[in-house]
Amino acid sequence: MSPTRRTFLGTTASTLAAAAAALARPTDAAAALAPAITTGKGRPAVVASENGLRGVAKAREMLLAGRDPLDAIIAGVNIQELDPEDNSVGLGGLPNAEGVVQLDASVMHGPSRRAGAVACLEDIATPSLVAKAVMDHTHHVLLVGRDARRFALDLGFTPQNLLTEASRQAWLRWRATLNPRDAWRDDVDPRAVPFRTGTINMNAVTAAGDLASCTTTSGLAYKVPGRVGDSPIVGAGQYCDNTVGAAGATGLGETNIKACGAMLLVEFMRQGTDPQAAALKVLERVLSLAEPRQLDARGRPRFDLTFYAVHKDGRTAGASFYEGAQYAVADDAGPRLEPAAYLFRRGERPA
């Protein structure tokens, strides 16, 4: 069951007491791994993928009102999940190869060290909330497919058709371009068919230094039914450690899964690496694990991947393979888009 306010405050107090005791014991393994946090100047802070600009503003507003960091960022990503004009997540997401919208999401709550996730969820527009329900109401982390849907319905989530007319038309155009010898008309310009690996990731740190992370997506457009990317994989699509920071990713999930990118980014920050430098190091690791078919003749990626990070002290960062990517951030300077760091200039992108 969800914790009451009294039990949540009691748990938080116990956590802080345990942290203080750990710092008093230099030989304790947890204390040895935890970095020294000397400032909270930038807190509260929220960082997200570019499509999360409205969301980071909402989340930080909630953090300033004293709300839990996970509740705040879920409210932020719900904006995109419920927007039928956004075909990368939730309602209106681009469907799989059979024309069915399948959604994935995962969440992680720093203070309680708990996580929840769902994959291949159908008919529920807010998989982030279902992922949190898995965390709140079960001892599991990940539920999938029809059983994830049944779990959501049992808890009172309302089913609906997630395929908007715009996304259905996009799917029909995609299907028409598959094979010029099939029975479908093939007079569609392939460039008119939207294709995306769209996702929203959001991470936050409160004024007190508590952290949370969330990633939600409709996945790779026109994917093989049942395909699961990195978004619902804790440690890949998102990861949070309340002693260090939180991170997540958007882009081609298969490449990130192999690198456990979000967790690796947090571990680099644990070692004292700046969030931006840590994100760039993870991109280099992903690149080192890429298959030859995914690289051009110069070893540059033919796919996109962007990482987002927030440090416990309030520093934020975003980094991508190629110049031109942006990320959303909200802190003392207000909500805005910032240019992401990058490994390669846009002119170096393979054709």
Digit-coded pLDDT (tens) for 284-330: 999 999 999 999 999 999 999 999 999 999 999 999 999 999 999 99
Size of the chain, expressed as the number of residues it contains = 351
Model pLDDT, residue 153: 98
Cα 264 from Cα 237, distance rounded (Å): 11
Cis-peptide, bond into residue 292, ω within 30° of zero: no
Strands 142-144 and 114-121: parallel
Domain boundaries defined on the chain: 37-163+196-343
Query: In this structure, what token pair is assigned to residue 260?
Result: 């456990």
- Per-residue pLDDT at 182: 57
- The DSSP output letter for 221 is T
pLDDT tens sequence across 223-261: 999 999 999 999 999 999 999 999 999 999 999 999 999
pLDDT at 176: 80
Confidence at residue 186, expressed as pLDDT on a 0 to 100 scale:
55
Catalytic residues, by residue number, are: 199
pLDDT at 146: 97
pLDDT tens, residue by residue, 131-174: 999 999 999 999 999 999 999 999 999 999 999 999 998 888 88
Question: What is the average pLDDT score of the chain?
Answer: 87
Indicate the fold that domain 37-163+196-343 takes in CATH.
Glutamine Phosphoribosylpyrophosphate, subunit 1, domain 1 (3.60.20)
Mean pLDDT throughout 193-217? Answer: 88
**Residue 6 pLDDT class (50, 70, 90 cuts):** very low
